Amino acid sequence: MNSIDRTKPILITGATGYVAGWIVKKLLDEGMTVHAAVRDTENEDKLKYLNQLAQQSSGTIKYFKSDLLESNSYKEAMEGCELVFHTASPFTLKVKDAQKQLVDPALRGTENVLNTVDESPSVKRVVLTSSVVAIYGDAIDLNLIPAKIFTENDWNNTSSVDHQPYSYSKVLAEKRAWEIQRKQDRWDLTVINPGFVMGPGINPNATSESFSFFRQLIGGQSKMGVPNLEFGVVDVRDLAEAHFNAGFMENAKGRHIITAESVTMLKMAEIIRDKVGDNYPLPKKELPKFLVYLAAPFAGLSFKYVKNNVGWPLKFDNSKSRDALGIKYRAMEETIIDLFEQLKN
């Protein structure tokens, strides 16, 4: 595997994103030069949090205007870089045209970045942010796994543009990345497959789906009860550490499930209540599945989603991330309370 020269600039796509922010912080704190690929280099509101990180560190940040769907728009940003973190990908659950809003940007964006990597002789390694949803589609899929625990060997074969389109976009993008990588032998590909990302953001006003989900949990919309939905959750700070180690550890290779543990929505609410008491309209019970079916259309959920996810457990094997990348996961209580405190403030 290739070793990376830390004196060379590091490219990160989607640099203003929720996950990318913490990766940028880690790189800057290590004194490195970050080439931040962003859609708008003039948007001071979006960039001010990254600028603050740079001012408080020994590193340097430079901005490059880039667009996932624009060919060669990453070429200048990639010049001289040995390491590329590709984190940019649309993450939204409310879409009118899944092909256009999710699948095309994820797939074409990955092709665009990796085709530029192919044309950039300095690049030695790419770290791709994929997802555990490239490993499984619905919680019920665990029944298809003999060992009843998802590993890096598993692939999501049940999502489509009509069912779980975000998951489908991540499957196509990651598979395409491996196809492109295998056609050459100059640069390595290491893939990070995080669960549901939580924890405080570098930008407290981020438009992340994680923030939207959490605001709904604590804001009263769920006070009558929540579905029995389980998520493999990871702290955004641990996820940044996983990316960093995947970039610089010479033997890092293949896919890596990055989840601390699986928790239900009710458990998340209970963690907050244990900390703050009954000062917030938090749910205290799980809804019967038939009520979830009735409420599903109003929550933008399909009957198929409810059938295949509500009431089904989720289990992930994160041993590779601990053994190969040296990740020590934070306690879930710390992750949830830190995010709660940020949103409250």
76 part of a folded domain = yes
Is residue 149 a contact partner of residue 317, using CB atoms and an 8 Å limit? yes
Q: What does the pLDDT read at residue 44?
A: 87
Name beta bridge partners: 232: 262
Q: Tally the domains of the chain.
A: 1
The answer as to whether 269 is a domain residue is yes
**pLDDT value of residue 278:** 85
Give domain status of residue 3, yes or no: no
| Chain-centroid distance, C-alpha 295 | 28
Encode pLDDT of 10-49 as tens digits.
999 999 999 999 999 999 999 999 999 998 998 888 899 9
Within 156-235, where are the H helices? Answer: 165-182, 209-218
Q: Is residue 230 part of a domain?
A: yes
Residue 240 has pLDDT above 90, yes or no: yes
Tell me the CA end-to-end span of the chain in Å, nearest whole number: 45
Which residue's structure tokens are 């239900």?
Answer: 264
The fraction of the chain above a pLDDT of 90, given in percent, is: 78
- DSSP letter at 253 equals -
- What was the pLDDT predicted at 108? 92
Q: Which residue carries 């001289």 as its tokens?
A: 80
CB 131 within 8 A of CB 173: no
Better-scored residue on pLDDT, 229 or 46: 229
Decide if 37 is inside a domain.
yes
Question: What is the pTM (predicted TM-score) of this model?
Answer: 0.95
pLDDT confidence of residue 92: 64
For the domain that residue 226 is a member of, what is the CATH number?
3.40.50.720
Distance CA 35, CA 113 (A): 14
Q: Is 2 domain-assigned?
A: no
Give pLDDT, residue 88. Answer: 82
More confident residue, 122 or 101: 122
Phi, psi of 241 (to 5 degrees): -60, -40
Question: Tokens 């209970």 correspond to what residue?
Answer: 270
Mean pLDDT of 302-329: 97
Identify the pLDDT of residue 211.
82
Identify the pLDDT of residue 259: 98
What confidence score (pLDDT) does residue 90 get? 65
At residue 2, the pLDDT reads 78
Flag whether 5 is in a domain. no
pLDDT in tens, 254-291: 999 999 999 999 999 999 999 888 888 999 999 999 99
In a domain, residue 1? The reply is no
pLDDT at 67 over 80: yes
Domain span at residue 103 reads: 10-344
pLDDT attached to residue 91: 64
The predicted-structure confidence for 172-195, as pLDDT tens digits, reads as follows 999 999 999 999 999 999 999 999
